[in-house]
Structure 1
Amino acid sequence: MSSTEVTVVVSDCAEEDARAVFATLDAAFTAEKTTRPRSGGGATVWASAYDVSAPTEATPAAVAPLAHQVSVEAQGGYRAVDRVVAVLDSAFVIDTVGTAAGDQEKDIHLRIHGRAGV
């Protein structure tokens, strides 16, 4: 993984909420790889890898409201993860649940929900 790539995993939510989170990130960054959920007996997760080296000029517009809280995990280089968190923070209320830091990468676990009135 390069220092400008971030893997984002969304879980503990309905598909519509996952789509709202990814639509926000898609407006700001180029998605390199997206994994669609598979049906089965376990939990459903959605994942996408973003290159944050050249953010788009678009600012996340009105975002579809989230029906419930969503778990988001972002892993990548320090600055790259910070960029992803900043975009999510511009559209949603975020609570940091935990972080793990390595030599050149960090992993952050967030709970996000919609802003009041959105």
Structure 2
Amino acid sequence: MVTVSLTGTSKEDAATVFDVLHTAFPTDRPADLPEDPPGSRPVVWTARIATADDRIPTGPAPLAGPVSATLQGGCLAVDLLCEALNGAFMVRERGTASGDQEKEVDLRLDAKR
């Protein structure tokens, strides 16, 4: 299981990223759609994604602007999510932190050109 946190993005771009991940790692649970928060505070969109070795490849997906993403979970699961995101977006790793059995990765996602 990986916790995905998205910042610096619109509700629509957050939905696009989560749609890609739910396509790559299908689940019987309906996808949570991002909702507009009340007020004008900074927003963090989050979801928990269960990974599988037999992921479905994804193609390029549109983004209106860059998205900051933080992935946190088991090492293999985080790596699988990174692979799925690489299929849909231009991904730049901005930092990592590893523990005994967990990993956190900070990414910047942009639309593929």
Q: State yes or no: 1:78 paired with 2:75.
A: yes
Cα 1:55–1:15 shift into 2, 3 Å: farther
How many residues are treated as equivalent by the alignment?
110
**Amino acid of the structure 1 residue aligned with 2:66:** Q
Q: Percent identity?
A: 35
Counterpart Cα distance in 2 of 1:35 and 1:73: 18
Question: Alpha-carbon deviation of 1:60?
Answer: 1.9
TM-score when normalising by structure 2: 0.86
RMSD across aligned positions (CA): 2.1
**Amino acid of the structure 1 residue aligned with 2:15:** R
Instruction: Write out the 4+ residue segments of structure 1 that deviate beyond 4 Å after TM superposition.
Output: 31-37
Counterpart Cα distance in 2 of 1:35 and 1:53: 22
TM-score when normalising by structure 1: 0.82
**Structure 2, unaligned stretches of length 5 or more?**
none
Cα 1:35–1:75 shift into 2, 3 Å: farther
2:96 aligned residue (94, 99, 102): 99
State the match for 1:60 in structure 2: 58
